[in-house]
Structure 1
């Protein structure tokens, strides 16, 4: 035991985070007391002297002294044999005993409502008082979720620490929420880190229990709120209307399909400088903007001008269709074409270096893209069942994997089985956060640990195929799933002076 751990062993540190302080009924010390009214030392003494088939005798076991034991050592004891209970059939699937060292069976049912009594005065809770109160919390919610937590822990291979974090988080939520029977908002779960609580796994349990109200803002909504916080209220309301139509679409005339959040983010990023400039000039609404003001706000040329034109055209078209502005200032204005980029090959030595990366996830991802030109999104969504007998099934195609890819695949599977032996995640690439769940890893994984971008590596692979086939457009389109425009972009590099030399092959 050390000073930095408050002279407590690991078990006692866990004990004090799960039980309140009080006076032990048997040794009369002021310690952290469990439900039986005993401290950890008295409880361990009773377990040592417990007879087979008998209940714990806390008073008798601690009457003549206590046996101390070494701290931070895993004591292997033979489990005391219990008397077999009479077999009985449970009334429903939730009727199971136990639940977080709390007495009594789990409740047969739990009825939650979305109605909440509004608070008269909002008071920020004291974190320390919340922690102390959560230690003695024992409600129907926590007992109802105990079975679901246990099932999730067994199904997804949770560690004891993760399971205890979820248990403690549920107690904190029960302590913090205003009504004992109300459902829990996901936005309230996001506040748990200030009390050392868990977020993602707790949300998964509440969702499985049917007690979650999903009200978390999408990342694009958070980004939009940050960019438009300083705008006038009316102008911000008009932008929010446009954002809602772009993200969710419109089912009433004029109808409109929803757009990809990444496309919406590009539009927001492009129009923010112009909208901010109009707000600084004293405008309160976008209905006051004229075509001349739009022309003055546009950049001189290049991609910034083209992107701003597209964003403003989408914005004013939507507002005009919703009758929030009188006229569309972008009507009749000619658009600027985006500057076309020329795909360039990568350094072969750099690709070879990443193929031999000590990180098995990086080596496998680079091999999949370098040899088979997969996109980053396809790599992160690959399932274990997509690869059978050395062949990859992708979008209706059967791709025989190259030998270097098979070698790195075997190394990654060995690493995955060693580090996460109990994971049920069906995806091929997983990390610490996704292993105990069923979700896919982010498209940035594992490229955040690599010096190569997935898109640049894919372009290098397509360029190699273009030069190897002499520009067979049909073969390039079928092999990589490209359209006519994208295929022509690569075929134009055949006459490029910097790409006319012969390319070395990647071993």
Structure 2
């Protein structure tokens, strides 16, 4: 009628006792050796996992489930690998990851303080954005964060007067938008419009108060090139071979962080001097080739047996097959620098437009930009090229220096 949680042994379990009549442990050990061989686990890691399996699977019977919440404190206290052990347990079909979703925890904190009816609609909308649906694609989690954070102040204000979104009027929306700045107003209208459209489809509101409210066109300023000392500062800040390669990919090839994370070893063809980024093959310049060879040599010495086919790996991913995390590729070494990876990517695209002319079609072809983005870079380059020479610090296109 109810499920009883197992208590893992608090003392050290002898290997002989654990193996006696325990087919689950034998299967898990076999699976650990197969996974370790396939993924290049060193002997130390394999021994670590075997010790953890002895503790976790002692007394395991048919139908038992091993929960993350049960094994995490026990294994962590002994310095044993939780991640590798759960991989094995999941492989043999006895693992249940019962960790609460970080997104759900964040969302619950943002719904706190809202009226019950409003919180219900906002939660449904945010989850649809995050998870997607039959007629809605999943959005990047950062987009969901921005949307919810943008409209949380007005939702709290409305929660003081209303119990449901259906009570919010067009006048309420316009009153709030009157006190929001231009750029923030556009983002707020977009988020509110998305929320009320979802509520209308669900039938929880009768009329969309954001309909026919104009978003307005945001004036895009001229993209300015980075100053040479900004570039020099970022080049001097990166010392690790992986960071140097990431910087080169952003500064020379305008690669986005997500594209850098997805790069495979086969995408780098050193012999034929070709590099493929998101399906677009381009020449491999001397600078990128140099730092790529440095990284490959470091990678080979540090993790000679890894089976991870991603070009960039670290100590967390070298024993698996997944990409490095977003935070790892975000350029921790560039924190505090003006020339961040984002600015370097933008600067490279602007430089292309300055050198080859403000041709939006050329930019779209070279970097895979959308029509709107390519036009913006072309317009910025045209404005810079038409600027009077004496007042133009970027009158002559510059080239990216080398990474020492």
For this structure pair, what is the TM-score category when the shorter chain's length is used for normalisation? 0.7 to 0.9
Distance verdict in 2 for CA 1:439–1:256, change over 3 Å: closer
Taking the aligned partners of 2:57 and 2:164, their CA distance within structure 1 comes to 44
Aligned with residue 449 of structure 1, among 333, 336, 348: 333
| Structure 1 residue 383: Cα displacement | 0.8
Q: When you count helix as a share of all residues, which structure comes out higher?
A: 2
Distance verdict in 2 for CA 1:191–1:176, change over 3 Å: farther
Taking the aligned partners of 1:384 and 1:415, their CA distance within structure 2 comes to 14
Unaligned runs of 5+ in 1: 1-115
Aligned partner of 2:139 in structure 1 is 259
Counterpart check, 1:479 vs 2:366 = yes
Taking the aligned partners of 2:111 and 2:58, their CA distance within structure 1 comes to 35
Matches within 5 A, 1:84-233: 117-119=2-4, 130-132=9-11, 139-171=22-54, 173-174=56-57, 181-186=63-68, 195-196=77-78, 197-214=80-97, 216-233=99-116
| Structure 1 residue 358: Cα displacement | 2.6
Aligned with residue 405 of structure 1, among 288, 308, 330: 288
Structure scoring higher RCO (CA < 8 A, sep ≥ 6) equals: 2
Residue range with higher mean Cα deviation, 341-350 or 482-491: 341-350
| Structure 1 residue 353: Cα displacement | 5.0
Distance verdict in 2 for CA 1:432–1:338, change over 3 Å: farther
Aligned with residue 285 of structure 1, among 133, 149, 164: 164
Distance verdict in 2 for CA 1:170–1:460, change over 3 Å: same
Matches within 5 A, 1:335-374: 335-352=215-232, 354-355=234-235, 357-374=238-255
Answer yes or no: is the 8 Å Cα contact 1:242–1:318 preserved in 2. Answer: yes
Distance verdict in 2 for CA 1:256–1:154, change over 3 Å: closer
Taking the aligned partners of 1:266 and 1:193, their CA distance within structure 2 comes to 37
Q: Summarize deviations over 1:96-122 as a string: whole Å, max 9, x none.
A: xxxxxxxxxxxxxxxxxxxx8335xx9
Q: Summarize deviations over 1:363-384 as a string: whole Å, max 9, x none.
A: 1111222222211211121111
Q: Which secondary structure state, in structure 2, belongs to the residue aligned with residue 398 of structure 1?
A: strand
Taking the aligned partners of 2:72 and 2:222, their CA distance within structure 1 comes to 44
Q: Summarize deviations over 1:120-171 as a string: whole Å, max 9, x none.
A: xx99x7xxx8532766656543332111112222222223443344344445
| Structure 1 residue 467: Cα displacement | 0.9
Residue range with higher mean Cα deviation, 233-242 or 189-198: 189-198
| Structure 1 residue 404: Cα displacement | 1.4
Distance verdict in 2 for CA 1:343–1:287, change over 3 Å: same
Distance verdict in 2 for CA 1:439–1:333, change over 3 Å: same
Answer yes or no: is the 8 Å Cα contact 1:383–1:427 preserved in 2. Answer: yes
Q: With structure 2 as the length reference, what TM-score do the two structures score?
A: 0.82
| Structure 1 residue 456: Cα displacement | 0.7
Taking the aligned partners of 1:228 and 1:459, their CA distance within structure 2 comes to 36
Matches within 5 A, 1:23-102: none
Counterpart check, 1:297 vs 2:185 = no
